[in-house]
Structure 1
Amino acid sequence: MHAYRQFAAVYDRLMEDMPYPEWMRFARSCWERYGVPKTIADLGCGTGNLSIPLARSGFHVYAIDLSAEMLTIGRNKWDASPQHTFRTQEGSIRWLQQDMRDWELPQPVDAVISFCDCVNYLTEEDDVEAAFRAAYGQLKSGGVFLFDVHAPRTLARYAGEQPFVLDERDIAYIWTCELDRERTEIEHKLTIFAREGESRDARYARIEETHVQRAYEPAWLRGALARAGFGNIEIYADFRLEPPNAESERIFFAAVK
């Protein structure tokens, strides 16, 4: 698994166009259906782009990530937030460096989320099964586990459309992909140039990143959830409470303990 060591410093800049509000809307729609939680574990929380708005909304959040650097950035954002000091609803965040395959909380939570294709970073079936067992073990009875993954066709699309290039004043990258079709596993290689400072002669830091993701068939993921003990497993697609089809790119799961 990737710990995002150097990447943490530029993560928010590169991810600013990600559909975080859509993930929030999807989660809320599911909670209206399965039960509104008070306590939430956010697996693969990164720099807190979902944990922080959840806490601002009054939820008590355990923000869990493997990367200490990502957690430090998230904690600093939360501490600097005006809502952290002057909020009307008493939410909270506890930042925890743990592996999503083997994590533990002081007490079970009402809901677990893992968005932004975190599960795709588990590239062995045994690791996915372990993550599902851990989520099941840390949920209260009746709690719901929500997560999303890239569909296999999405990884194939990345491989077909690469390379990707960004060239802006403060940051640039070259992003190439190589797909192992037998394993439906993709290796992303990024060379990132991040501007250091605002002066005319500011230098650019070069960051080399390699990320590996694997896509799994929805039927297999459903079976793995059932083997972990989950019941009432529903499969949705592309941020809507509708079943996936052959064109779906991002697959969502809701599984109840």
Structure 2
Amino acid sequence: MEDMPYPDWLRFARQAWEKHGMPKSVVELGCGTGSITIPLVNSGFEVTGIDLSADMLSVARNKMEATPQGNRLFREGSIRWLQQDMREWVLHEPVDAVISFCDCMSYLLEEKDIISTLVRTYEGLKPGGIFLFDVHHPNTIIRYDEEQPFVWDEKSVSYIWTCDLDAARCEIEHHLSIFVKEEQGNLYQRFEEVHVQRAYDPEWMKVELIKAGFRDVKCYADFEWVEAEDDAQRLFYVAVK
């Protein structure tokens, strides 16, 4: 499959912090297997990776331990892994910055879940702290439905990706059939995945950020510092407490 643009998310975060103040302590909501968390830790930030999946966190821990400085950074407290729900996450002390990339918040399927996450994140930030996150633009969800099916075919892995759209909710269910070639012979293993995501009106999101308490809210497009328009694929929110 195509590589996820992790360097682009990291670049966007650094640029945002350069504009608003470089943090020391960072929380990543929906950290998954640590593909963003670990580079941040190795760059000198104190990071807490939060995810609901124990399996994801186990992979992240193993990846961190496999890095040259992994064990030392863990002993020094530069990295923590916590299994928590992003809608209710809590630490004992506020942090300088919170991030949630890879459209993690698009997996929150009810408005109340978005609102809970925004409120909890505001409460978990220090004054002047910054919240960065990206979600799908509503038009992206519609384009997925219009342009499906998607097929990716390489020597070692292939997939077929189809979608079911609930237009009234701007919610989409992704169905992936993944075929992975075994090391020996010409046999393939088949895996099935289902992902459900929802997109929210950008103006509604801005209003809810302000209602949560954030005083400076901006929305940009596709990893760039340009105001988001209807042709944006990803919306990047920058919200300052």
Q: TM-score, normalised by structure 2?
A: 0.94
Distance 2:229 2:153 in 1: 35
1:94 to 62, 77, 80: 80
Q: Cα distance, 1:58 vs. partner?
A: 0.3
Q: Cα distance, 1:179 vs. partner?
A: 1.1
Q: Which runs of 5+ in 1 are unaligned?
A: 1-13
SS at match of 2:224: coil
Q: Mean alpha-carbon deviation: is it higher for 128-137 or for 90-99?
A: 90-99
Q: Deviations over 1:146-192 (max 9, x none)?
A: 00111011111111111112222332221101111111111101122
1:221 equivalent in structure 2:
205
1:78 equivalent in structure 2:
64
Distance 1:100 1:149 in 2: 15
Q: CA RMSD in A?
A: 1.7
Q: Which runs of 5+ in 2 are unaligned?
A: none
Distance 1:23 1:219 in 2: 23
Q: Cα distance, 1:91 vs. partner?
A: 7.7
1:154 to 131, 140, 160: 140
* 1:1-257 superposed matches below 5 A: 14=1, 17-84=3-70, 92-196=78-182, 198-200=183-185, 204-257=188-241
Q: Cα distance, 1:244 vs. partner?
A: 0.9
The aligned amino acid for 1:126 is: K
Q: TM-score, normalised by structure 1?
A: 0.88
Distance 1:97 1:44 in 2: 10
Q: Deviations over 1:108-144 (max 9, x none)?
A: 1100000111111111000000011111111111100
Q: Cα distance, 1:94 vs. partner?
A: 0.7
SS at match of 2:109: coil
1:147–1:192: structure 2 CA closer, same or farther, 3 Å change rule? same
SS at match of 2:22: coil
Distance 1:68 1:164 in 2: 30
Q: Assess if the C-alpha contact under 8 Å between 1:43 and 1:114 holds in 2.
A: yes
SS at match of 2:63: helix
